[in-house]
Every structure is written in structure tokens, then in C-alpha cells.
């Protein structure tokens, strides 16, 4: 997932040294119908990292609901990564007036608004 985001940032001309990533897991006690989002490490998974995620989940559950179940098993429902990179400020664009629909559809403003964007590995 991270490599896909890195390629997209590069394609968008964003300096890779200014890009940061945030990683999260949606976790819950087995059998629950709701999840809590916890931050996770970018390091490879090992016993210590997994234990840190479990401890973070219990702390989050305690903070949200006033209790936790330390002996209950936990499952990860989703793993998420968010890439954050600076972009240039969008200049004020004036929509064209008094011309044809074809000219309006091909204006800089229309191209900006209709450009494909990547959301959750799908073109929107």
C-alpha cells in the first residue's frame, strides 16, 4: 500500500522527502460489532510490535468505554495507511462565461475539477 502511495505522490510531482505516512488498524474484541482505530508502527511485525498494538487497543477501549478485557482475543478488521504530502495552493480560477459548453468543459478549471484522483486504490 505504501509503495502505491509513493508512486502516486511521485506522479503528482510531490517531493518524496516531504511525504509522511500514518498507519492505523481497526481492531475489536472477537465477536464485537464495532471497531476502535489504533495507530500502528511502520516497522515489520514481530512479537513486540503486536503486543504494543494489543496494549494500545486495551488502553483505547478503556478510554472510550471505561473498561477493557485484557484476557479476550482481539482481531484486526482493517489496516489503513494515509499518505500526507504538501501541495501547491490552488490559484483562483475564473470560470469561462459566454462561450460554448465544449470550451467550458476544456477550461483549466474543468480539467482540474474532473481530473481522476486515487481514493482507496480506486479511481474516483
In the chain, what percentage of residues exceed pLDDT 70?
89
Query: What grid cell was written down for 9?
Result: 505522490
Prediction pTM value: 0.62
Tens digit of each residue's pLDDT (9 = 90 or more) over 95-107: 767 677 777 777 7
CA dihedral 67, 71, 75, 76 (to 10 degrees): 60
Domain boundaries, the chain: 2-88, 89-124
The whole-number pLDDT of residue 120 equals 55
Tens digit of each residue's pLDDT (9 = 90 or more) over 26-40: 999 999 999 999 999
**Mean pLDDT, all residues of the chain:** 85
Amino acid at each position: 500500500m505504501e509503495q502505491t502511495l509513493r508512486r502516486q505522490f511521485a506522479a503528482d510531482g510531490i517531493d518524496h522527502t516531504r511525504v509522511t505516512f500514518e498507519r492505523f488498524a481497526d481492531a475489536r474484541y472477537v465477536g464485537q460489532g464495532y471497531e476502535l482505530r489504533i495507530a500502528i508502527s511502520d516497522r515489520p511485525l514481530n512479537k513486540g510490535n503486536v503486543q504494543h498494538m494489543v496494549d494500545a487497543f486495551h488502553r483505547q477501549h478503556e478510554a472510550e468505554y471505561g473498561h477493557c478485557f485484557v484476557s479476550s482475543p482481539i482481531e484486526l478488521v482493517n489496516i489503513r495507511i494515509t499518505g500526507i504530502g504538501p501541495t501547491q495552493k490552488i490559484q483562483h480560477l475564473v470560470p469561462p462565461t459566454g462561450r460554448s459548453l465544449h470550451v467550458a468543459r476544456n477550461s483549466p478549471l474543468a480539467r482540474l475539477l474532473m481530473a481522476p484522483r486515487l481514493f482507496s486504490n480506486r479511481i474516483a
